[in-house]
Amino acid sequence: MREHKGKRLCITGMPTAGKSTLTRKLAEETGGIGLFLDDFREELASDERYRKWVNFYIDQDLEIYYTTTDPEDQWRNLTTQSEALWPAFLEMMDSYAEETRPVIFECVNLLPHLVTRDTPFPCVVLIGRTYEETLERNRKEPRWGSTERELELNSRSFFYVERPKYLDEGKKSNCPVFETPDEAYETALGLLR
């Protein structure tokens, strides 16, 4: 990875935890750029190297996946997806090396162990506060699925499977972990200044 001219920050964590909210707020406050790598991920579907992992969840029957896939295997799948997409994300990050403004990279797939292993950038992890808040945010902006049953299964996995794993990864990688974007704001802002 090339040396970057401006400050950089990675924001990761479970879906619905407020990563995008924090990214937008930080970009506005610092005059920086918020780069939502989930949007970029969709473009990767046309690349044979990444198609399988971009479409991994889309290609699953949500109810069958969540009711037959062990929680450890669910996390293993997310980790494998993240590692498979990582070269493309590194390339996208590197394309901002000449940018002097702060750049905030946001995505579920920016797992702390990948960020700390392969970039010099600090990383903040958001894990959400309660299952009820997770479900409510998922209802407002569904990540995967549309029926109430699917949204509940999805939200349970986010909160009870992914949340503890992101917490553990954050701690092991020495990345600050927060439940909400408001709690993370001052620390994240400090990392960009």
Read off the pLDDT band of 95 (50, 70, 90). Answer: very high
Kindly tell me if the per-residue pLDDT of 105 is higher than 80. Answer: yes
pLDDT of residue 177: 98
Which value, to the nearest 10 degrees, does the dihedral of the CA atoms of residues 167, 141, 77, 51 take?
-140
* 19 located within any domain: yes
Report yes or no: 106 and 74 within 8 Å, Cβ to Cβ: no
* 140 located within any domain: yes
Q: Domain range holding 21?
A: 8-191
* 35 located within any domain: yes
What average pLDDT does the structure give for the chain?
A: 95
* 73 located within any domain: yes
Say what the pTM is: 0.95
Report the CATH number that the domain containing residue 151 is assigned in CATH: 3.40.50.300
* 1 located within any domain: no
Kindly tell me if the per-residue pLDDT of 22 is higher than 80. Answer: yes
Domain count, the chain: 1
Alpha-carbon gap, residue 73 to 110, rounded angstroms: 19
Kindly tell me if the per-residue pLDDT of 64 is higher than 80. Answer: yes
Per DSSP bridges, beta strands 123-126 and 8-13 are parallel
* 102 located within any domain: yes
